[in-house]
Every structure is written in C-alpha cells, then in structure tokens.
C-alpha cells in the first residue's frame, strides 16, 4: 500500500515537473542553440541594446509605480475607515472592488476605446478635450493607469482585507490617539507599519499585473513591455523568447523576495 | 496625473483630520468617485454602444437589440462557441489534472516541496500572456526545439490549433487549480480517513463516499474559475495563433482595431456584453460554491 502510494506520488510529481519544466528548458535551448550558428548567447546580449527595450521597460515600470501609488492612496484610507466605522458600506465596497472580475479586460478596453472616441467626436470644442488628449500622451498614457487601477482593485482589496483582519485597527488607533497622535500620525505611524505585509503583497500583485498586461495597452495602441515583446516576436524570434525567459525569472525573483519578507513579517508578529 | 493624485490626497487627508465631526465614509468617497469614472463610464459606454444602431445612410442613431442579435450570428457565433468550447475543455482538464497534483503536494511530508510547488503555482498562474505563448512557440512551434528534435511535424503535430491552445492554457490553469483547491484539501481531516478505514473502507471507497463529496463544491468552484480565466484570456491566443482559431476575444480585438468593416464597433461592444454576461454567470456560480466550501473548512 505504502509502496503503491509512493509510486503514485512520484508519477504525478514527475509528470508535472516534465510538463512545467520542459517548455522553460526548451526556451533556453531555443535562444542559445541557434540553427546554423551553434551555441551563442547573442540573444541575451542583444536584449539591452534592442530597439525599444529600455523605453518600453521604463514605461512599464513608471506605469506600475503610478498604479501602485494611486490604488494604495484610494484603497488604504477607504479600507481603514471601513474598519473604524460605516459598517453598512463594507459590502458595497466589496462588491465594487469585485466588479472588475466580471468584466474581462477585452470587454473593458472595448468600453474605454468607445469613451476615448467621444473626445474627437463630441468634445473637440470643450476644455475636457484637452484632458482626453493629455491622458493619451504616448510617453506616459495616464489612461492606462486608470485602467490598471480598476483591474488591480480585486487583488488589492483581498490583500488589504486579509491584512486588516489580522490586526485590531480600532484599538491601535484609539491607543495612538490617547497618546496624543493626530489622525494622520495614527494612520501613518501605527496602522501602516502593522499592514506592511499586506501593503507589500498588494504592491507586488499590482506590479505583476502591470508588467504583464498586454490586452488594454495593445488595443489602445501604447507600447509598454509586454506589447514590445510581442512586436519583437515578429522579427526576431530568439530575442523575444530570451526576453520571455528573463521576464519569468524576474517575476519569480520578485515573488520569492516577497515570500521572504512576508515570512519574516509573520514570525515578527507572532513574537510580538 | 497630478490632478487625480492631489484630489485623492486632499480628500484623504481632510477626512482623517476632521473625522471627529465628519463620518468615516468620507474616506471611501474618492474610491467610489474613481471607480465611477474609470470603470462606470466605460461600462455605460459599452452598454450604450451595444444597444445603439447607426443608420449608415442617414447617420441617425436609434436603440435596438440588432447588435446583440448580430453578435450571436455567423462568424461571431462561431467565435463565441469556440471560446466556450476551449474554456470548458481546458477548464475540465485543468481541474482533473490539478487535483492529483495538489493532493500529492498537500499530503507530502516534505515542507520544502510544498512551499516550492505553491510558490511556483503562484508565479505560473500569473504567467499567462505573451511570454507563455513565446515559450511554447520555442518548444512546440513549427521551428520549436521539441518539434524539430522529435520530428513531431511529420506526426501531424500543430501547436497553432485548438488542442495546441488547450495545451498552452493548461500551463496557467493547472497552477490556478492547485492554488484554489489546496485550502479545501487541507481541510480534509486525517480523522475522516482513519474513521473510514476503521469501518473497513478501501482507499477508493474513502474517496468516493467521503473526500469527493466534501470537495465537490470546491472542485466545481475551481472549474468555474478556470473556465472564466480561459474565457477571458486574450494575450496568449493573440500572440500564438493570430486569428486563425475563432475566439471571441480575438474577434472583439479585430473589431476594435478596425481590421473589419466600418460600423462593426458596436457589434464588438455587443460581443463584449455577451462576454460580461458569461463572466457574470461564472461569478454567480462561483461565489455561492466558495461560501459553501468555506463553511465546511471552517467547521
């Protein structure tokens, strides 16, 4: 019985490892072993100098930073306030933050594209038109930040909610207040440090979402990182696969870092 | 950018300063306003466009369900059915293959293995999109490493097909299933298995009469989640097959980027509405199931 169980274990794990590792290994082989050229690391050395690599990566990182800032500025005060009072609003906010799950990105971008067309169609003589032009500035398309914040809401809500669940916000704030702290001090110096793990988690999820996002950016005609990889794929297969492999490695490293920080956070809180 | 940031800042700061006199829901207002503008306006625009028909000759617009009927006909219907078929099949396979993997991992004695698989699942479940498509093209595409080394092409293998897409989708669906079902598997008490064994049940009987009924809501919920995830996927398919496989996401993208006849934009919006309805149905099934399984696990 035990022997059969162990065999089953190894078969399942072996097949899973085969399925999940072979594409990664084959991708590396594909980039390194070029037909007719032998083993070469050109694909990797080319990446940095490739046309559009730096600008698209920088754009993606800027978008990610802006999205994280906006989503946390909107969500943290709202979620903390909901814990302190207004219990009837709690289900409302939960539903609102889950709504983006019901609208697939492609449907969402179809709606956004329609709204953006109103600009030239109806608003060209109003001051609002300038806003429409400004948020579609290709060097920093703020419209993408708006879309990404909406798409990140469900993840950020869940991360912050589980973080807030673990601490007693009301007691913390009352303690801080009776020690003479004003409201901003109470929020920034007592609540936020206790939410460190949740804030990091929310930021990481948002970062991963923005770095990998393709649908909205491509259909609105902007070129952040994922769209750039796609456009390179047509002309230089080796290069695009090399970038794909690298982007997975980077995501992995980020997640492991987060797991490390989160793990430390847990032990710290259990001690304290 | 600065306008939005400062507004949010000011309202947040003001609300925290004056909270003694001002109720705490003030801090929620910026969030509601933002969602209303960034999500509500496009959503309403989509609804409005889906029901608006423009007369090509007079330019007059009127409300009707013509776009919706059109979106359920011909090539559009084929694409919708193609998407549903692909998502149902990939979702079912993902559920069936994810369950044994999660079970092996959960019951493993090695903590490191568990942590590694769960962390990897977290990464891979989000590893959709363009990089995934390219990794598979490099592996099993026409010039892929395995295709050329194993001579798969002569054996009739084609990655750019329905089954090719299923194979690629499983790469992020199986990890998603592992993540979804792990809490439910952890909720299966050892005592239940021992009780079944003491009463003379075999392993198969234990699974058939105890474990699977307890897991059923989670399994169904997981399947629905996988279905929704595959249904909404666009980047992977776009980077891999272009539009050679009829999928609703590819059709919508074609219509938005103006690759088809003028005047089809509103049909694209109607198709988007179809997708929202399907996704809404998915959530309507998933949320009650998740609550049901949560009740079991908390007990």
Burial B66-83 (b: 16+ CB within 10 A, else e): ebbebbeeeebeebbebb
| Residue B207 covered by a domain | yes
Burial B139-150 (b: 16+ CB within 10 A, else e): bbbeebbbbeee
Residues A177, A187 contacting (CB under 8 angstroms): no
| Residue A1 covered by a domain | no
Report the pLDDT value the prediction gives residue A3, as an integer from 0 to 100: 64
Same domain, yes or no, for B41 and B136?
Answer: no
Total number of domains constituting chain B = 2
The first and second tokens of residue B111, run together, are: 């903590």
Same domain, yes or no, for B202 and B233?
Answer: yes
Same domain, yes or no, for B44 and B126?
Answer: no
Report the pLDDT value the prediction gives residue A262, as an integer from 0 to 100: 55
pLDDT beyond 80 at B293: no
Report the pLDDT value the prediction gives residue B57, as an integer from 0 to 100: 67
Residue of A152 and A128 predicted with greater confidence: A152
How high is the ipTM of this complex? 0.84
A267: how many CB neighbours lie within 10 A of its CB?
A: 9
Q: Grade residue B63 by pLDDT with cuts at 50, 70 and 90.
A: confident
User: Which has the closest alpha carbon to A147: B291, B37, B120?
Assistant: B37
For A222-272, how does the pLDDT look when each residue is reduced to its tens digit (9 = 90+)? Answer: 999 889 988 887 777 888 888 888 887 877 777 677 666 654 444 333 333
Distance of residue B59 Cα from the nearest chain A Cα, in angstroms: 13
Q: What percent of chain A has pLDDT over 90?
A: 22
For B255-285, how does the pLDDT look when each residue is reduced to its tens digit (9 = 90+)? Answer: 887 665 556 778 888 999 999 999 888 888 8
Report the pLDDT value the prediction gives residue A260, as an integer from 0 to 100: 64
CB contact under 8 A, B28 and A110: no
Same domain, yes or no, for B154 and B283?
Answer: yes
Give mean pLDDT, residues A37-55: 80
| Residue B64 covered by a domain | no
Full residue range of the structural domain in which residue A148 is found: 57-271
Report the pLDDT value the prediction gives residue A258, as an integer from 0 to 100: 66
Q: Grade residue B114 by pLDDT with cuts at 50, 70 and 90.
A: confident
Q: Which residues of A touch B37 (CB under 8 A)?
A: 146
What is d(CA B261, CA A175) in angstroms, rounded to the nearest whole number?
Answer: 65
Distance of residue A272 Cα from the nearest chain B Cα, in angstroms: 25
What is d(CA A170, CA A180) in angstroms, rounded to the nearest whole number?
Answer: 15
Mean predicted lDDT score pLDDT of chain A: 83
| Residue B62 covered by a domain | no
| Residue A11 covered by a domain | no
Q: What is the DSSP string of chain A?
A: -HHHHHHHHHHHHHHHHHHHHHHHHHHHHHHHEETTTEE--HHHHHHHHSTTHHHHHHHHHHHHHHHHHHHHHHHHHHHHHHHHS-TTHHHHHHHHHHHHHHS-HHHHHHHHHHHHHHHHHH-TTSTHHHHHHHHT-TTS-HHHHHHHHHHHHHHHHHHHHHHHHTS-HHHHHHHHHHTT--HHHIIIIIIHHHTHHHHHHHHHHHHHHHHH--HHHHHHT---HHHHHHHHHHH-HHHHHHHHHHHHHHHHHHHHHHHHHHHHHHHHHHH-
Same domain, yes or no, for B103 and B143?
Answer: yes
Report the pLDDT value the prediction gives residue B12, as an integer from 0 to 100: 52
| Residue A40 covered by a domain | no
Full residue range of the structural domain in which residue B182 is found: 70-298
Distance of residue B190 Cα from the nearest chain A Cα, in angstroms: 16
Best mutation target among B129, B143, B152, B265 (most A Cβ atoms within 10 Å) is B129
Give mean pLDDT, residues B242-260: 81
φ/ψ of B19, rounded to 5, equals -65, -20
For B204-222, how does the pLDDT look when each residue is reduced to its tens digit (9 = 90+)? Answer: 888 888 888 888 888 888 8
Which H or E run contains B61?
Answer: strand B61-63
Q: Grade residue B86 by pLDDT with cuts at 50, 70 and 90.
A: very high
| Residue A35 covered by a domain | no
For A112-145, how does the pLDDT look when each residue is reduced to its tens digit (9 = 90+)? Answer: 988 888 777 776 677 777 778 778 888 889 999 9
Q: Closest partner residue to B124 among A20, A89, A93, by Cβ? A: A20
User: Which has the closest alpha carbon to B156: B165, B169, B147?
Assistant: B147
Sequence-ordered list of residues with C-beta below 8 angstroms from that of B39, at least 6 positions apart, any chain: A99, A100, A103, A108, A150
Residue A142's CATH number: 1.10.3720.10
Same domain, yes or no, for B117 and B18?
Answer: no
Q: Which residues of B touch A211 (CB under 8 A)?
A: none
Residue B107's CATH number: 1.10.3720.10
CB contact under 8 A, B235 and A226: yes
Total number of domains constituting chain A = 1
- Beta-bridge partner residues of A33: A39
What is d(CA A150, CA B34) in angstroms, rounded to the nearest whole number?
Answer: 9
| Residue B63 covered by a domain | no
Residues A74, B247 contacting (CB under 8 angstroms): no
| Residue A25 covered by a domain | no
For B164-201, how does the pLDDT look when each residue is reduced to its tens digit (9 = 90+)? Answer: 999 999 999 999 999 888 888 888 888 888 898 899 88
The first and second tokens of residue A102, run together, are: 């019901």
Same domain, yes or no, for B29 and B158?
Answer: no
Q: Which residues of B touch A245 (CB under 8 A)?
A: 131, 135
| Residue B277 covered by a domain | yes
Same domain, yes or no, for B86 and B223?
Answer: yes
| Residue B104 covered by a domain | yes
CB contact under 8 A, B25 and A85: yes
Best mutation target among A11, A23, A70 (most B Cβ atoms within 10 Å) is A23
Which H or E run contains B63?
Answer: strand B61-63
- Beta-bridge partner residues of B54: B61
Same domain, yes or no, for B87 and B208?
Answer: yes
Q: Closest partner residue to A27 among B49, B138, B174, by Cβ? A: B138
Give mean pLDDT, residues A195-216: 87
| Residue B133 covered by a domain | yes
| Residue B92 covered by a domain | yes
What is d(CA B272, CA B255) in angstroms, rounded to the nearest whole number?
Answer: 11
- Beta-bridge partner residues of B63: B52
Distance of residue B88 Cα from the nearest chain A Cα, in angstroms: 17
Q: What percent of chain B has pLDDT over 90?
A: 22
Same domain, yes or no, for B118 and B257?
Answer: yes
pLDDT beyond 60 at B124: yes
CB contact under 8 A, A26 and B138: yes
Q: What percent of chain B has pLDDT over 70?
A: 86
Burial A257-266 (b: 16+ CB within 10 A, else e): ebbeeeeebe
For B24-40, how does the pLDDT look when each residue is reduced to its tens digit (9 = 90+)? Answer: 778 889 999 999 999 99
User: Which has the closest alpha carbon to B225: B268, B155, B172, B160?
Assistant: B172
Same domain, yes or no, for B93 and B234?
Answer: yes
Same domain, yes or no, for B78 and B203?
Answer: yes
């Amino acid at each position: 019985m035990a022997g059969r169980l162990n065999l089953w274990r190894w078969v399942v794990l072996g097949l899973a490892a085969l399925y999940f590792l072979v594409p990664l290994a084959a991708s590396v082989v594909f980039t390194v072993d070029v037909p007719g050229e032998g083993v070469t690391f050109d694909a990797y050395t080319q990446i940095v100098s490739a046309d559009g690599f730096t600008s698209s990566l920088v754009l993606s990182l800027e978008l990610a930073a802006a999205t994280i800032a906006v989503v946390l500025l909107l969500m943290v005060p709202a979620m903390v306030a909901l814990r302190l009072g207004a219990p009837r609003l709690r289900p409302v906010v939960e539903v609102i933050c889950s709504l983006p799950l019901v609208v697939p990105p492609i449907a969402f971008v179809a709606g956004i594209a329609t709204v953006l067309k109103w600009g030239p169609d109806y608003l060209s003589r109003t001051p609002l038109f300038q806003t429409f032009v400004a948020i579609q500035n290709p060097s920093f398309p703020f419209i993408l930040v708006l879309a990404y914040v909406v798409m990140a809401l469900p993840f950020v809500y869940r991360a912050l909610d589980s973080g807030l669940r673990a601490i007693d916000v009301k007691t913390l704030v009352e303690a801080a207040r009776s020690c003479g702290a004003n409201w901003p001090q109470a929020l920034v110096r007592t609540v936020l440090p206790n939410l460190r793990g949740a804030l990091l988690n929310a930021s990481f999820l948002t970062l991963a979402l923005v770095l990998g996002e393709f649908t909205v950016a491509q259909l609105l005609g902007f070129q952040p990182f994922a769209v750039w990889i796609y456009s390179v794929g047509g002309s230089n297969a080796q290069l695009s696969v090399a970038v794909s492999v690298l982007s997975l490695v980077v995501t992995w490293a980020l997640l492991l870092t987060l797991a490390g920080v989160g793990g430390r956070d847990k032990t710290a809180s259990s001690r304290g | 950018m600065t306008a939005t940031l400062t507004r949010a800042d000011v309202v947040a700061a003001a609300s925290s300063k004056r909270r003694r006199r001002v109720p705490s829901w003030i801090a929620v207002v910026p969030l509601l306003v933002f969602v209303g503008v960034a999500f509500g306006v496009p959503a309403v625009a989509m609804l409005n466009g889906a029901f608006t028909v423009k007369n090509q000759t007079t330019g007059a617009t009127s409300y009707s369900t013509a776009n919706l009927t059109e979106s359920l006909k011909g090539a559009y219907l084929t694409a919708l059915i193609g998407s549903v078929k692909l998502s149902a099949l990939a979702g079912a396979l993902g559920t069936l293959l994810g369950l044994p993997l999660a079970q092996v991992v959960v019951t493993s004695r090695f903590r490191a293995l568990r942590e590694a698989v769960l962390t990897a699942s977290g990464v891979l479940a989000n590893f959709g999109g363009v990089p995934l498509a390219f990794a598979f093209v490099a592996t099993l595409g026409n010039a892929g490493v395995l295709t050329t080394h194993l001579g798969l092409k002569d054996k009739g293998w084609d990655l750019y097909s329905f089954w090719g897409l299923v194979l690629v989708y499983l790469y992020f669906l199986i990890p998603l299933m592992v993540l979804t079902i792990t809490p439910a598997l952890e909720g299966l008490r050892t005592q239940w298995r021992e009780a079944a064994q003491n009463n003379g049940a075999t392993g198969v009987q234990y699974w058939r009469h105890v474990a699977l009924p307890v897991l059923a809501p989670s399994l169904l919920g997981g399947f629905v989640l996988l279905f929704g995830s595959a249904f909404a996927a666009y980047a992977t398919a776009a980077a891999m097959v272009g539009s050679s496989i009829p999928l609703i996401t590819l059709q919508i993208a074609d219509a938005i980027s103006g690759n088809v006849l003028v005047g089809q934009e509103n049909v694209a919006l109607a198709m988007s509405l179809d997708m929202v309805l399907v996704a809404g149905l998915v959530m309507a099934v998933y949320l009650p199931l998740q609550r049901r399984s949560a009740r079991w696990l908390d007990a």
